Structure 1
Amino acid sequence: MYGENSGHLRDAMGALLREHRIQQRLGGKGTHTVPETTTVAEREELGRQIRRYRECVLTWSLQAVRAANPRADLGGTTVHSRGPAEELRFRLTETLTASSADLAPSEELTTEQQFATVEAWRQAARSAVLGEHDFPAGVRYSDLTDQQCMTVLKDAADVVRGLVALDRRYSNVPGWEKLHNQGWLGRAAQTCAAHAGYDEPDYAVDRHGWQPAPQPLDGPAMSGLAGVMQAQHNLLLSLDELPDARSLRVVLDSQRVVTHEVALRLGESVPDLASKWASREDTYIKLVRETRDLGGLLGRGDAAGHASIAASRAQKLGREPLADAKQLHQVDRLFTRIDQRICAAIEHGVRERLYFVRVPIARVDDLSAGLVKERRQRYLPITSPVQSDLIAIARNELRPEPIRLSVPITAARSRADFEAAIDHRPGDSGRPLAL
């Protein structure tokens, strides 16, 4: 997730920012009590390796700025016409273009280093490389609120401020290459951090980003309510793909059955769920009624199997009350997520004309079997002027309240510690790395 990767990046860079006398930390000559353990050539090679790690962090910073402020083209702009975010993006692009260092290869990212300083750079680069996966997986302008975008922007600006501060301290490392236009880059980062930090941050963005894909719970059926939850979990995963009309009807009826059976066995430990689940059962009764004439061949049928298993296991539950409040709230969370997926599937199927409604017309079907002929029927898109309350029920009754992501308890502390590390001076309290 974004919060985990960016937090590790800040921790590693915070440790580096609390270090001073960099030459000694790379084995250079210091006082009479700190002997020289590396040659100038070896320190020069360490400097090149650190620059490769720094390149990874710079790349992450540029991607973070692009994700939070995706202005397509900065060509022809000037320092006076660019805003704070655009200016930082321009300076980062300029710095990366002028740099002669390559990105750190996978061997350097995965191999523990001898010197603590180089190891901290490796940890920072590794977190930056892992963090690149967060931006296409939910940490981008289209998926975030304005406050969350500003939070990401400030995180990137603070990291760049830290890189500029470190660049000044490493200037005496043999063969060190300074950041291109270091002063302009530092001012752009400082201005952007002040601009992005003006409003109240939204640290819920730390819950966004890449996460391992959930896996189905295969194997033998679990006993009791756990078995129902197992089938519901597998149903939730199968709803990632659009079900066909027949499968959708099976899923809707299964949720009616599961809700009814579980609600019958509610104990007195969770009175708040009784009315909520009764309302859910009524909603699914309406949806089942509205989808009797639903048709559509496109889609997958996997969801119907998991839905049938969930309904069957719910009907076989024992008659004793369900008293485990924690387990019941987990069931409620599964209900909420399934409702979201079903609502999204209905809206998508209707909008893309993948679901149709069967409408009788005033003609006799001469091709029907038997002596008594039925009325002819036609399937029409639900978006046409037919009498169907399917969309209204899905949007107004089925769709749950948006899930509000909780803020990690360490989010504010991590950022405050990092800002303090940027302005660290020798003698200040902190967590310096050991020589």
Structure 2
Amino acid sequence: MYGETSGQLRDALGVLLREHRIQHRLGGKGIHTLPETTTVAEREELGKQIRRYRQCVLTWSLQAVRAANPRINLEGTTGRSRGPAEELRYRLTEALAASTATLANGDELVDEQAFATVESWRLVGRAAALGEHDFAAGVGYGRLSEQQCMTVLKDAADVVRGLVALDRRYEGIPGWEKLHNQGRLGRAAEACAAHAGYDEPDYTVDRLGWQPEPRLLDGPPMPGLAGVMQAQYNLLLHLHEFPDAHSLRLVMDSQRIVAHEAADRITDVEPNLAAKWTTRKETYIKLVHETRDLGGLLGKGNAAGDGSIAASRAQKLDREPLIDTKQWHQLDRLFARIDERVCAAVEHGVKERLYFLRVSVPGLDERDGQLLRVTRRKYIPITSPVQTNLVPIVRQELRPEPARLHPPPGAAQSRLDFEAAINHRPSPRGALPDVTSI
């Protein structure tokens, strides 16, 4: 997720921003009690490796700015005509184009480094490389609110501010290559951070981004309610595939049974939850009735098997309700996600004409040509004048309320700590250590 990768990037970069005397940390000359342990050539190689990690972070920053403010063409613009976001994007593009460093390879991102400073840079580069996947998986313009875009833009600007501060600190490394137009890049990052931080941030963006693909819960059935949830979870995953009409009806019937059995066992413990599930059962009874004439051969039937397993396990649950209702609330969240997938399947099947209604029409008697002597079956699109309550029930009764995203714990504190690291200054000689930073 975006919050996980960007948080790792800020944490590792914050460690670097609190470090000083960089030459000494890379084995160079330090105080008289700590002799030099690396040669000039070795420190130059370490500097090149750090620049490769920095190249990953610059690339991440540019992608974050593009995701938050995708102005396509900046050719022919000037500093006066560009806004804060466009100016930062322009300076980042310049810095990347002028750099002679390449991106860190896979081994450099995976292998642990001997020097603590280089290891922190490795963690920064790894987080940036992983974070690039978030921008193609939901963290992008058009999928984010205006406040979420500003939050991403502020994150990118603060990271660039940190890189500029470190660039000035690392100039003593042999063969170090400064950022192109370092001063202008820093001023652009400062202006963009001030612009993006003017409004209240929306840290729910941390919940978005790339996530590992969920896997089926295979293996032996779990005991009790856990077994029902196991089958329900597998059903949820299989509903990623479009179900054919027969499988859709079996899924709806299975949810009728699971909702009924669950409500029956929790009435005395959680009456509000039981009432909610009773309403859900009644909705699925209506849907099963409305789909009795539904047809459609395209699609897959894997979801129907998991639904049948869930219904069978629910009917075998003990009659004594669980005192710990945590699992019941987890089941309720599964219900909501399954309902959402069922709604999406019905809407898609109706829109793309993959589901049809079976209707009876009068036909001619082949012997004497008289009407109303025989009845024929015909399948017609659901969008035809023949009325059915399937779509209204799905839209008005089954569809769950949109889930509210909540920012993860520590989202604001992570950014405050990073801001403090950017503004960190070393204590003067002889001063007592700052206990607040210990």
Question: TM-score of the superposition, structure 1-length normalised?
Answer: 0.94
Q: Distance in 2 between matches of 1:365 and 1:148?
A: 67
Number of the residue aligned with 2:306: 306
How far is the alpha carbon of 1:357 from its aligned partner? 1.7
Q: Distance in 2 between matches of 1:246 and 1:365?
A: 31
Q: What is the correspondence of 1:33-432 to structure 2 with a 5 Å cutoff?
A: 33-364=33-364, 374-427=374-427, 429=434
Q: Secondary structure at the match of 1:394?
A: helix
Q: Which one-letter code corresponds to 2:11 in the other structure?
A: D
**Are the counterparts in 2 of residues 17 and 424 from structure 1 also a CA contact under 8 Å?**
yes
Deviations, residues 201-234 of structure 1 (Å, cap 9, x unaligned): 1111112122222211112222222221111111
How far is the alpha carbon of 1:103 from its aligned partner? 0.5
Q: Secondary structure at the match of 1:401?
A: coil
Q: Distance in 2 between matches of 1:365 and 1:327?
A: 60
Q: Distance in 1 between matches of 2:69 and 2:357?
A: 43
Q: Secondary structure at the match of 2:142?
A: helix
Q: Distance in 1 between matches of 2:132 and 2:320?
A: 50
Number of residue pairs the alignment of both structures matches: 429
Q: Distance in 2 between matches of 1:194 and 1:374?
A: 77
Q: Distance in 2 between matches of 1:45 and 1:208?
A: 37
- Which one is further off, 184-193 or 139-148? 139-148
**Are the counterparts in 2 of residues 148 and 202 from structure 1 also a CA contact under 8 Å?**
yes
Q: Which one-letter code corresponds to 1:94 in the other structure?
A: E
Deviations, residues 144-198 of structure 1 (Å, cap 9, x unaligned): 2221121111111100110011111111211011111112211221111111111
Q: Distance in 1 between matches of 2:373 and 2:44?
A: 92
Number of the residue aligned with 2:430: none
Question: TM-score of the superposition, structure 2-length normalised?
Answer: 0.93
Q: Secondary structure at the match of 2:170?
A: helix
Unaligned runs of 5+ in 2: 428-432
Q: Distance in 2 between matches of 1:325 and 1:366?
A: 65
How far is the alpha carbon of 1:383 from its aligned partner? 2.3
Q: Distance in 2 between matches of 1:365 and 1:127?
A: 74
**Are the counterparts in 2 of residues 268 and 323 from structure 1 also a CA contact under 8 Å?**
no
CA 1:384/1:105 → structure 2, altered by over 3 Å: closer, same or farther?
same
How far is the alpha carbon of 1:405 from its aligned partner? 2.4
CA 1:431/1:177 → structure 2, altered by over 3 Å: closer, same or farther?
farther
Q: Distance in 1 between matches of 2:347 and 2:77?
A: 42
CA 1:331/1:20 → structure 2, altered by over 3 Å: closer, same or farther?
same
Q: Which one-letter code corresponds to 1:420 in the other structure?
A: A
CA 1:176/1:221 → structure 2, altered by over 3 Å: closer, same or farther?
same
How far is the alpha carbon of 1:64 from its aligned partner? 1.2
**Are the counterparts in 1 of residues 206 and 408 from structure 2 also a CA contact under 8 Å?**
yes
Q: Distance in 2 between matches of 1:93 and 1:231?
A: 50
Q: Distance in 2 between matches of 1:288 and 1:7?
A: 47
Unaligned runs of 5+ in 1: none
Q: Which one-letter code corresponds to 1:171 in the other structure?
A: E
Q: Secondary structure at the match of 2:133?
A: coil
Give the RMSD, CA atoms, in angstroms: 2.0
Q: Distance in 2 between matches of 1:245 and 1:72?
A: 44
- Which one is further off, 46-55 or 404-413? 404-413
Q: Which one-letter code corresponds to 2:379 in the other structure?
A: Y
How far is the alpha carbon of 1:429 from its aligned partner? 4.0
CA 1:138/1:334 → structure 2, altered by over 3 Å: closer, same or farther?
same
Q: Secondary structure at the match of 1:132?
A: helix
Answer 1 or 2: higher relative contact order, Cα 8 Å, separation at least 6: 1
Q: Which one-letter code corresponds to 1:197 in the other structure?
A: G
CA 1:403/1:115 → structure 2, altered by over 3 Å: closer, same or farther?
same
